[in-house]
C-alpha cells in the first residue's frame, strides 16, 4: 500500500498555550495501580459486570466507495488506507499533536481485568480528533475547509485551521452541545446549525463545500482522517505490546478503523463499543451492508452518527473482533468512575471503559479515553481562545 503524499505546507506548529494537556508519565501493565504525575492515585474499584453483547459480522461487499464532493486529492477517492499511511500520518502530524500516555485504570474485583487507559483526553484540542484533522489538512493543503461535526472534530479542525490560516466552516446537528459550538467559534471558525440529526448535518456540509469551492474534511469518513486516528493504535501497541484487547469508542468509525489498521495481523483483539441507542456498526455488520439508524440522543454526544462511513466500514468489517453496546446509565457510571480516578473525561470518552466493564474478561486490556472536553475545559478554551497567544516556533 502506498502512503498518501504529503504537502509542502510548512507553517510553524503551535505552542498549545490555550489547552496544554496535563503532564503525565506512561505506565506499563506491570505498573498499574501506581500514582501518575498530573492525576490522582488510582484506587481499586468494585464494578458490577454484565454480559457481553456481540454483533454478527457480515461478509458481503460494501455498497460503494467514498466520493468527495469537491476535492479529489491523490490517493483519497477509492483509497483504502494501510499501515504505510498510518506511519506517514504519524510523521506528518508529529509537530501538531502530543504522544498521550497510558494511565493505570481500575481493576474490577469481579474479573481481575488488568486495565490501562490511553489518555486521548490529554490530546491537544481535548480529543483524539486532532490527529485525523491535522493529517487531513496538512496533506490536502486546502485554504478553505468545510466539515460536519458533533463538536470535537470541529474544535480540532478550528485549532489547526487557526494555526495554518485556513478558513473553516463547521456544520452542527440540532443536538450539538452549545459549549462546543462556542469553543469552535472562539477558535475563529464559522458554525452553521441544521435542525436535524447527523445525516442532515453531513448532507449540509457536502452542499456547503460544493457551493463555496471548499475541501470537505469529514469527521471520520476519509482515508486521511482514518490514517491520522490510527496513530493512536501505533502508540498504544508500541507502549503496551502485551495487550490482549483494545476497547475503542465507536461513532463514525474513524478511530475503530484506525485501530484495526494499526493492529493488522497482531494477536490483539479489537473491540468496538457503541451506545446502545445507536449501534450502527453492529446493525450494519449483522445486515451485511451499511444501514442508517434514526437520529439519537445518547448522552455520548460524539457518538451519535446514524450510519457507518464508507471508508471505515470495510476496514472494520474485515478486522474487528467484537462489538459491544452500552447503555447511557453505563456510560455515565464509567464517566463518574474516571472522574474519581482523576481522569477528566466527557461521556463519549468513557464509552470504551464502559465496554470493558461490561465485557468482564480476565485479560490485559486498554480502553481508549477518547475525549475530555468537559464543560469546565470548554469554558476555559472558549475564554482563552478569544485572545490567543502567538505560537512559538
- By annotation, the residues acting in catalysis are 129, 150
Strand-strand pairing, 190-193 and 167-172: parallel
**Can you tell me the distance from the alpha carbon of 301 to that of 303, in angstroms, rounded to the nearest whole number?**
5
Q: At what angle do helices 351-359 and 328-340 cross, to 10 degrees?
A: 100
C-alpha dist (Å) from residue 323 to 13, 53, 59, 197, 225: 37, 7, 15, 23, 22
Cβ neighbours, 10 Å, residue 127: 28
Q: Which three cell numbers stand for residue 273?
A: 463499543
The DSSP secondary-structure symbol of 244 reads S
Residue 159 CA: distances (Å) to CA of 15, 150, 155 = 11, 15, 6
Quote the CA–CA distance of 268 and 288 in Å, as a whole number. 24
Q: Which residues pair with 103 in a beta bridge?
A: 117
Crossing angle for the helix pair 375-385 and 178-186, to the nearest 10 degrees: 20
DSSP state of 122: G
Pairing state of beta strands 190-193 and 215-216? unpaired
Q: Residue 216 — φ and ψ, nearest 5°?
A: -85, 125
CA-based max dimension of the chain: 56
Amino acid at each position: 500500500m502506498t502512503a498518501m503524499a504529503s504537502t509542502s505546507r510548512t507553517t510553524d506548529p503551535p505552542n498549545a498555550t490555550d489547552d496544554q494537556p496535563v503532564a503525565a508519565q506512561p505506565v506499563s501493565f506491570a505498573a498499574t495501580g501506581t500514582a501518575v504525575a498530573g492525576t490522582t492515585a488510582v484506587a481499586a474499584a468494585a464494578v458490577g459486570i454484565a454480559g457481553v453483547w456481540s454483533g454478527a459480522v457480515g461478509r458481503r461487499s460494501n455498497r460503494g466507495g467514498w466520493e468527495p464532493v469537491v476535492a479529489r486529492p491523490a490517493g483519497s477517492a477509492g483509497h483504502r488506507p494501510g499501515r504505510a499511511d498510518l506511519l506517514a500520518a504519524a510523521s506528518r502530524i508529529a509537530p501538531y499533536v502530543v504522544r498521550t500516555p497510558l494511565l493505570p485504570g481500575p481493576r474490577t474485583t469481579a474479573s481481575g481485568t488488568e486495565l490501562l487507559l490511553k489518555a486521548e483526553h490529554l490530546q491537544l484540542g481535548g480529543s483524539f480528533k486532532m490527529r485525523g484533522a491535522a493529517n487531513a489538512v496538512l496533506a490536502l493543503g486546502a485554504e478553505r475547509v468545510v466539515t460536519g461535526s458533533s463538536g470535537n472534530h470541529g474544535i480540532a479542525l478550528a485549532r489547526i485551521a487557526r494555526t495554518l490560516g485556513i478558513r473553516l466552516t463547521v456544520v452542527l446537528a440540532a443536538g450539538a452541545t452549545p459549549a462546543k459550538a462556542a469553543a469552535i467559534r472562539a477558535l475563529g471558525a464559522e458554525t452553521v446549525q441544521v435542525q436535524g440529526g447527523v445525516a442532515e448535518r453531513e448532507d449540509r456540509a457536502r452542499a456547503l463545500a460544493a457551493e463555496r469551492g471548499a475541501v470537505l474534511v469529514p469527521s471520520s469518513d476519509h482515508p486521511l482522517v482514518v490514517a491520522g486516528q490510527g496513530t493512536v493504535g501505533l502508540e498504544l501497541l508500541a507502549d503496551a505490546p502485551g495487550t490482549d484487547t483494545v476497547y475503542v469508542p465507536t461513532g463514525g468509525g474513524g478511530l475503530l478503523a484506525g485501530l484495526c489498521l494499526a493492529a493488522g495481523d497482531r494477536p490483539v483483539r479489537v473491540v468496538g463499543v457503541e451506545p446502545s441507542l445507536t449501534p450502527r456498526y453492529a446493525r450494519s455488520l449483522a445486515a451485511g451492508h451499511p444501514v442508517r439508524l434514526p437520529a439519537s440522543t445518547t448522552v455520548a454526544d460524539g457518538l451519535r452518527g446514524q450510519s457507518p462511513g464508507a471508508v471505515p466500514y470495510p476496514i472494520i468489517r474485515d478486522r474487528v473482533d467484537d462489538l459491544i453496546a452500552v447503555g447511557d446509565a453505563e456510560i455515565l457510571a464509567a464517566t463518574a468512575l474516571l472522574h474519581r480516578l482523576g481522569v477528566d473525561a466527557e461521556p463519549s470518552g468513557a464509552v470504551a471503559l464502559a465496554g470493558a466493564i461490561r465485557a468482564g474478561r480476565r485479560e490485559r486490556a486498554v480502553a481508549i479515553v477518547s475525549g475530555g472536553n468537559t464543560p469546565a475545559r470548554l469554558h476555559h478554551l472558549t475564554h482563552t481562545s478569544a485572545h490567543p497567544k502567538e505560537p512559538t516556533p
